Amino acid sequence: MSPDANQSTKLRFGTAGIPSFLKNVATSQAIETVARLGLDCFEIELVKSNWLNGETAQEINQTAKRWGIKLSLHASYFINLNSPEEGKRLASIERLLSAVRWAEKCGAESVVFHCGYYGQRSPQESFHQVKTTLKEIASILKIENSPVILRPETMGRRSQFGTLEEILFLCREIEGLQPCLDFSHIHAREGKVNSYAEFQRLLLKVEKKLGKAALKQLHLHLAGVLYNQQGEIRHINLEESDFRFDEWIQALKDMNVEGTVICESPDQSRDALLLKKLYLGQLRSEEKNFFESQFKPE
Ligand SMILES: [Zn+2]
């Protein structure tokens, strides 16, 4: 029985890849550890290379089922659906399709991916190009009867395609697409969206553009983040960052958001557990005071 079977949590919390405190373990072992820690989901990271084979995919699939862990998969970082070079655009299509096919073998429900860069193109031209390419990909997956949901991610650097609006419009215009909302990226991109009211407003916007159902199957990324004028620099742990994650959790609760939270902090399992405890109201009062004194000076 899954350790989570008795909990009626609407939001699942888990890690982006193998928790950093684990050294030299197979992904299936990491999935078991994540379950034993009390977490609920796991994102397979195919970001730098594809290390999966038929055997590891089957092992991952079986372990996740045994432990009640919900899987998603993050596709290659080397995808640019807006590349002006046709060869690179075609290779990007191939990488994304390959990620989706491996996700299905692993039993992962969603594939998260980065759309690419604006390069020399305007945001409007880029949107048109990304949309056209994603439509091609979606139509291939439809023919294959793929059960996997494609999730373009909101991006943290201003050179990257993927503002909230761009991602929501893509999801509205292409059947089968749902967003991956990375709140750290959204925050880092402009240095805004870091309060209860802003989180709530953003979620209302998602509801307005994609319908109520979208809030019942959201895929969220969160980490602490360092940023400057150009946006994201790198991920840090939540407690070292300025991100108001307690207000974020409260907004998700109040808006009855359901789905998956994947933590991408350097110490991802610790931060995922911190978020889950906050969500369930299980943070001990001394811990809570500590976090509040750290993050809410005013
Ligand atoms: Zn990502």
Whether residue 1 lies inside any domain: the answer is no
Name the band, by pLDDT with cuts 50, 70 and 90, for residue 7.
very low
Averaged pLDDT for residues 76-82: 97
17 Cα to the center of ligand 1, angstroms: 12
Residue 291 CA to residue 261 CA, distance in Å, equals 20
Q: How far is the CA of 16 from the centre of ligand 1 (A)?
A: 9
14 φ/ψ angles, rounded to the nearest 5 degrees: -165, -170
Give the model's pLDDT for residue 153: 98
User: What per-residue confidence (pLDDT) applies to 236?
Assistant: 93
Higher per-residue confidence, 180 vs 7: 180
Count of domains for the chain? 1
Angle in degrees, CA 124, 235, 18, rounded to 5? 110
- In this prediction, residue 283 carries a pLDDT of 75
User: Do the beta carbons of residue 11 and residue 252 sit within 8 Å?
Assistant: yes
pLDDT at position 2: 43
Residue at 80 is within a domain: yes
Distance 137 CA to ligand 1 centre (A): 19
In the reported structure, the alpha carbon of residue 120 is separated from the centroid of ligand 1 by a whole-number distance in angstroms of 22
CA of 154 to the centre of ligand 1 (A): 8
- Considering the chain, what is the average pLDDT of its residues? 92
* Residue 149 alpha carbon to ligand 1 centre in Å: 15
Q: How far is the CA of 99 from the centre of ligand 1 (A)?
A: 14
Collapsing DSSP states into helix, strand and coil, what is residue 156? coil
Ligand 1 mean position, distance from CA 235 (Å): 11
CA of 54 to the centre of ligand 1 (A): 24
Neighbours of ion ligand 1 (CB under 5 A): 153
Q: Is 256 in contact with 208 (CB distance < 8 Å)?
A: no
Residue at 5 is within a domain: no
Q: How far is the CA of 284 from the centre of ligand 1 (A)?
A: 32
CATH, residue 247: 3.20.20.150
At residue 292, the pLDDT reads: 55
Residue 45 resides in a domain:
yes
pLDDT at site 53: 96
Residue 190 confidence class, pLDDT cut points 50, 70, 90: confident
In a domain, 146, yes or no: yes
Q: Which of 152, 64, 169, 59 is nearest to 113 (CA)?
A: 152
Residue 286 belongs to a domain: yes
Task: For residue range 251-276, list pLDDT tens digits in order.
Answer: 999 999 999 999 999 999 999 999 99
List the structure tokens of 77: 């970082």
Residue 269 is predicted with a pLDDT of 95
CA of 96 to the centre of ligand 1 (A): 13
pLDDT at 226 over 70: yes
Whether 70 maps to a domain, the answer reads yes
List the domain range (segments joined by +) for residue 149.
Answer: 11-295
Read off the pLDDT of residues 8-67 as tens digits, 9 standing for 90 and up. Answer: 579 999 999 999 999 889 999 999 999 999 999 999 999 999 999 999 999 999 999 999
Give residue 297 CA to ligand 1 midpoint distance, Å.
30
pTM to 2 decimals? 0.91
Task: Please check whether residue 4 lies inside any domain of the structure.
Answer: no
